[in-house]
């Protein structure tokens, strides 16, 4: 049943003109940035050639590109997730879904997986650009794999948060703005930690950007993976509890 719900959600996303517009615009913007980064690397290469341990094409081109992809997807993810439950509520079809012989956990996970599959398709399309560098140069495969893994986990977190925000309202625009605001807060939360070390450490741990940056450096840490797993699980559980409450109250 989870697979059925996920495929239904994925199909509805690809039937949306908004999703196709996002795919096209992102590809255009990132293609321009990708070519700009390559041009920068070509200008720096003569000076880097004689420096021992100088950054390579993975550090100069791929890592900044993945960083930019992460931030741009933070901005567009709310537009993808805003209709997940909001449309169901607005069209009065959520009650039919809740009355179906499936558990609330299956419904939420199915919706989440559907959105996540869309994001993974988007990620695969965007990953073609850095991977294409293999045709003319050598990449650090470890850093590239770590960066793509970090981006996949980041998108999973975006999806989980967006699904939860969509379950709170029947207005997609409200869900989108709420998701965007919360994601930006988690992105910049460690910019000012005050003077207390314990507060700085807490804000540093809560930051999406901090954990994502570790992957971009080629570092694979169970702490960073656990952060994303906990974040995703927390918002999926909150969504299940929210819809369970709504089912009980009719």
Contact criterion met (CB below 8 Å) for 204 and 188: no
pLDDT, position 199? 61
Alpha helices in the chain (DSSP H): 2-14, 17-48, 57, 63-81, 86-90, 94-98, 104-131, 141-167, 172-188, 197-206, 208-216, 222-249
- How many Å is the Cα radius of gyration of the chain? 20
Q: How far apart are CA 94 and CA 91, in angstroms?
A: 8
Q: How far apart are CA 13 and CA 6, in angstroms?
A: 11
The pTM assigned to this predicted structure is 0.90
**The predicted structure's pLDDT at residue 139:** 81
Rounded Cα–Cα distance for residues 185 and 178 (Å) = 11
CA-CA distance, 50 to 43, in Å (whole number)? 14
Q: What is the pLDDT of residue 147?
A: 92
Residue 211, pLDDT score: 92
Per the rule left: phi > 0, alpha: psi between -120 and 50, beta: everything else, 56 is: beta
Give pLDDT, residue 126: 86
Q: Could you tell me which residues come within 8 angstroms of residue 242 by beta carbon, excluding any fewer than 6 positions away? A: 164, 167, 168
**pLDDT < 50: residue spans in the chain:** none
* Boundaries of every domain in the chain: 2-249
Pairwise CA distance, residues 60 & 6, whole Å: 37
pLDDT for 179 = 95
- For residue 181, give both structure tokens: 């605001």
- Predicted local distance difference test score (pLDDT) of residue 72: 92
Residue whose pair of structure tokens reads 């993808």 in the numeric block:
80
Residue 92 gets the label, from left (phi > 0), alpha (psi -120 to 50) or beta, of left
CA distances 65 to 35, 37, 126, 205, Å, are 10, 8, 10, 23
What is the CB neighbour count within 10 angstroms for residue 126? 23
- Give the model's pLDDT for residue 192: 64
Q: Please give the pLDDT value at position 137.
A: 76
pLDDT for 78 equals 94
Place of tokens 């880097």: 48
């Amino acid at each position: 049943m989870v697979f059925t719900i996920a495929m239904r959600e994925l199909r509805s996303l690809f039937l949306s003109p908004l999703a196709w517009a996002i795919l096209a615009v992102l590809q255009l913007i990132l293609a321009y940035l990708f070519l700009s980064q390559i041009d920068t690397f070509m200008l720096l290469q003569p000076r880097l050639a004689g420096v021992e341990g100088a950054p390579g094409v993975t550090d100069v081109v791929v890592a900044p590109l993945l960083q930019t992809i992460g931030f741009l997807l933070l901005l567009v993810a709310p537009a993808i997730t805003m209709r997940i439950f909001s449309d169901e509520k607005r069209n009065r079809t959520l009650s039919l879904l809740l009355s179906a012989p499936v558990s609330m956990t299956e419904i939420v996970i199915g919706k989440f997986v559907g959105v996540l599959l869309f994001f993974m398709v988007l990620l695969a399309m965007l990953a073609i650009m850095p991977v294409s560098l293999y045709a003319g140069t050598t990449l650090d495969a470890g850093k590239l794999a770590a960066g793509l893994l970090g981006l996949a986990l980041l998108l999973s977190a975006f999806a989980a948060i967006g699904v939860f925000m969509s379950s709170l309202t029947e207005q997609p625009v409200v869900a989108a703005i709420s998701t965007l605001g919360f994601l930006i807060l988690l992105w910049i939360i460690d910019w000012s930690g005050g003077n207390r070390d314990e507060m700085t450490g807490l804000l540093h741990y809560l930051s999406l950007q901090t954990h994502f940056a570790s992957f971009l450096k080629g570092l694979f840490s169970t702490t960073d993976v656990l952060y994303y797993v906990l974040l995703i699980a927390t918002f999926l559980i909150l969504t299940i509890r929210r819809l369970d409450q709504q089912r009980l109250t009719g």
